[in-house]
Amino acid sequence: MTSINFKLRNGELRKINAEDGLTLMEVARDNDLGIEGTCGGSISCCTCHVVIEKDWFSKVGPANPDEEDMLDLAVDLQSTSRLGCQIEVTPELDGLIVNIPNE
């Protein structure tokens, strides 16, 4: 299990013990944190848009080209935006801080 901190739209901070191998989209969706993941992770929606806390972005890494194309359509796009379905939970991400952006 890896501890992931989600900052919700209402400012609340939720710490979730996430199963390794799941994606951030799956973790946020399954815990009702305001992420839908409509396409199920096939990079054809923006409903899993998350914003990685700046200090963590180098560890998480940048979006892949397909993901970047889809992120161009996201509301509230930021320099550390990613699609949550493209980030796998691993022990290296223990303590990660993820912001849920505005819809």
| Contact positions vs ligand FES (CB under 6 A) | 25, 37-39, 41, 43-45, 47-48, 70, 83, 85
Q: How many Cβ atoms sit within 10 Å of the Cβ of residue 41?
A: 16
- Which residue has its beta carbon closest to ligand FES? 85
Mention every residue, 6+ apart, whose C-beta is less than 8 A from residue 13.
5, 6, 7
Place of tokens 């303590």: 95
Closer by beta carbon to ligand FES, 11 or else 102: 102
37, 49, 79, 88 from 26: Cα distances, Å? 8, 12, 22, 10
Closer by beta carbon to ligand FES, 11 or else 47: 47
Minimum CB distance to ligand FES, residue 36 (Å): 8
Closer by beta carbon to ligand FES, 5 or else 47: 47
Minimum CB distance to ligand FES, residue 85 (Å): 3
Closer by beta carbon to ligand FES, 7 or else 26: 26
| Amino acid identity, position 43 | I
